Amino acid sequence: MAEKIEIPITGMNCAACAARIERELNKLGGVKEARVNFPLKKAEVLLGDNTDLKNIISVIREIGYDVDIERDITLRAKREEKELLRDFIITACLTVPIMIFSMWPILPYNNWILLILTIPVEFYFGLRFHRPAISNLKHLNADMNTLISLGTISAFFYSLLVVLFPQKIASIGIKPHVYFDSCSMIIAIVLLGRFFESKAKTRTYSAIKLLYELSPNECTVVKEGKEIRIDTGSLEVGDIVIIRPGEKVPADGVVIEGSSYVDESMITGEGLPSSKTTGDEVIAGTLNGKGSLLIRVTRIGKDTVLSKIIRLVEEAQFTKAPVQRLADRVASIFVPVVILISIITCVFWLVYGDEPKITNSLLSSVSVLIIACPCALGLATPTAIMVSTGIAAKLGILIKNAASVELSSKAKYILFDKTGTLTKGQIELSEIKPFLQFTERDVLKIAYSLERLSEHPFADALRKKAEETDIETLNVKTFQAVPGKGVKGIIEGNTYYLGNMSFYEEINGRLEDDVKKHYIELSQMGGSPVLLWYEDVVMGILNFKDKIREESQYVVSALKASGIEPVMITGDIMETAKAISDNVSIDRYYYRVLPDQKANIVEDYKKKGITLMVGDGINDAPSLVTAHVGIAMGKGTDIAIESADVVLMKGQLSKLLTFLKLSRKTLKIIKQNLFWAFIYNIIGIPVAAGVLYPHFGIRLEPMFGAIAMTISSVSVVTNSLHLKMFKE
């Protein structure tokens, strides 16, 4: 029987690493399927019969990676982040004096001091690049690690020759110059880039950990007539659990006694809490209102709806299309070409070069490798992203990674959650329609007097309205709440009712046509109308609704004008969905959508083009991770914010347009940076190889490679600073 296992992996630096591990694992006999998740640093392996786990681990280690026994991904991520920061700080502390003594060789035995300072940088902190580079060469692969390793190792050993045999080098007409500063600077810069990348990934792990923390650690069960406090993990199907006011539901279950309103916005996305009474289902992690509930547990552990949401978030990390940086893609072609040129150069000088042939061939081939390793390549993306994120932060936008910038600049679809995104996510009393001789004030006074004793969310909206208009409250006797229908109470001798149409018809029969028509119209316009009446006299209708953001229509129109199709997804009913979409001019919308269905819709759109998802709730987390780029509203839940790639910090939807504009500008700068990172070096490679030597006697010493690195680095930084001129 097939068994699925998860194996935490360390040492992966990019999506290419994950792809290679996945490829090797799928070659193993007995492995039915293997998928490697780079963001979560783990492999998910479906094993067949008689498969030895030790073989799988040995294959992972053989190709240059390792298996981590630490199961908490958040702790692993923080540990990796801490190690990278430590390595960078120590490397930087060693690099500063190396740079100073390289530019101003004022000390006795200066080159020997540089050698001693460079050894720990190159062969301890540089192991992060050398190990995967060696593994890549074994399997005839190449990536940025290969380029960094070859460039720094070549510079180091060339410099070592200069330190050991300075007269020999000078005798063939080459200035005995060392390049220890190039070695240490390249390693320090790339370590800094890796640290920022690791810091951004930690947010993904934190989001998943927050999801696990939604369920309460303890709950109260009833056994043999006694209330016992136990760990939620000890619950079993069939247990009877008491959920008191303000407590979270520990497991999926069915209400067997009591009534209350439960906030299920994390699942459905609807702003209004759901009425729960005997026979209704409740979901783990949702928040109980002011009533008490007695439930029978029906699903626990991995079978609960909450656990399915967590799995969706993790699964989305596997299926999310990895977008490698342009530098990695270029390196996969550039590195093999450079190595080939270096080998050809070595052979050419051995056959046709001047004496001493071995020395000349060695120095020429090493010159090619040194010049081919552009220090600016490590700066190309990080500098642009750092400047861009700094500008974005000032504008109220948090950008977490470079991939989100690249993808967003090519967006074709933007999917919006409704509640809290296109709308404010706050219920308000939008309209009071009085009938007969009654005034709005009469209707508000009676309704608020009744509702203020209720736990219903409409009570807050009524209270705000009553405070605005200075409405006094009346004394209510024999108050009673009827879950899912409304409330009733006696005021000055009359029994008043406040509730939905079905509540009225249950008591008085058919509702008058005029009142019914108005009630239905309000419902179709996206409102939640309630009736106020006594006996069979309807005093008026109060309409509650989630207010649309003033900027929503403008944002949607701007997206359409730029060629991006906006789509709305909501857990609300069709009437509400249609009303909101009509108001903001969105042509396509989906209603009554649960989290797993929402993620499926996002997947469908991803097949058609670059898809962004904008949301603010826990229920949006799977779709935010599934989308090419997830964008969270800053005033949304912590889980949505942690799951997203981009956060609109002030909750202003118009900042979405600013982000899209900035992403296009940033991607343009990154591409320009990559050009400057390579151009000087590409020009220098054929000169270093000796193309000009036969006719002009010109050969490029390794020293000029360092100059090319400096010029290209300055060009990259200067170009990135152009982003500071960005305006909304």
* Active site positions, annotated: 417
Classify residue 495 by burial, with Cβ atoms within 10 Å: 0-12, 13-18, 19+.
Answer: middle
One-letter amino acid at 399 equals: I
What is the three-class DSSP state of 489?
A: strand
Query: Kind of pairing, strands 494-499 and 293-299?
Result: unpaired
Please count the other Cβ atoms lying within 10 Å of the Cβ belonging to residue 1.
5
Structure tokens of 620?
């949006």
- What is the 3 state secondary structure string of 281-293? EECCCCEECCCCE
E-strand spans in 395-511? 397-399, 413-417, 423-434, 477-482, 486-491, 494-499
Give, to the nearest 10 degrees, the angle between helix 180-212 and helix 127-138.
Answer: 90
Q: What does the DSSP 8-state code read for residue 232?
A: G
The Cα angle at residue 649 between residues 643 and 655, in degrees rounded to 5: 105
Task: Give yes or no for a cis peptide into 356 (omega within 30° of 0).
Answer: yes
CA distance 313 to 621: 7
Structure tokens of 306?
């909450």
E-strand spans in 232-343? 240-243, 252-258, 260-263, 274-276, 281-282, 287-288, 293-299
CA distance 526 to 345: 74
Please, what is the end-to-end C-alpha distance for the chain in angstroms? 58
Q: What does the DSSP 8-state code read for residue 296?
A: E
Please count the other Cβ atoms lying within 10 Å of the Cβ belonging to residue 563.
8
CA distance 590 to 570: 6
The position carrying tokens 């390249």 is: 186
Q: Which of 399, 411, 414, 380 has the alpha carbon at shortest distance from 668? A: 380
Structure tokens of 394?
């000032």
CA distance 490 to 487: 11
One-letter amino acid at 59 equals: V
| Residues 187/378, Cβ–Cβ less than 8 Å | no
What are φ and ψ of residue 544, in 5° steps? -115, 140
The Cα angle at residue 718 between residues 717 and 719, in degrees rounded to 5: 90
Structure tokens of 597?
């269905």
- What is the 3 state secondary structure string of 357-425? HHHHHHHHHHHHHHHHCCCCHHHHHHHHHHHHHHHHHHCCEEECCHHHHHHHCCCCEEEEEHHHHHEEE
Q: Which of 394, 413, 404 has the alpha carbon at shortest distance from 666? A: 404
What are φ and ψ of residue 376, in 5° steps? -65, -20
The position carrying tokens 């070595």 is: 346
Bridge partners, residue 434, by sequence:
540
Q: Which of 665, 680, 662 has the alpha carbon at shortest distance from 719? A: 665
Query: Kind of pairing, strands 565-569 and 240-243?
Result: unpaired
Cα-Cα-Cα-Cα dihedral of 61, 64, 70, 71, to 10°? -80
Please count the other Cβ atoms lying within 10 Å of the Cβ belonging to residue 697.
7
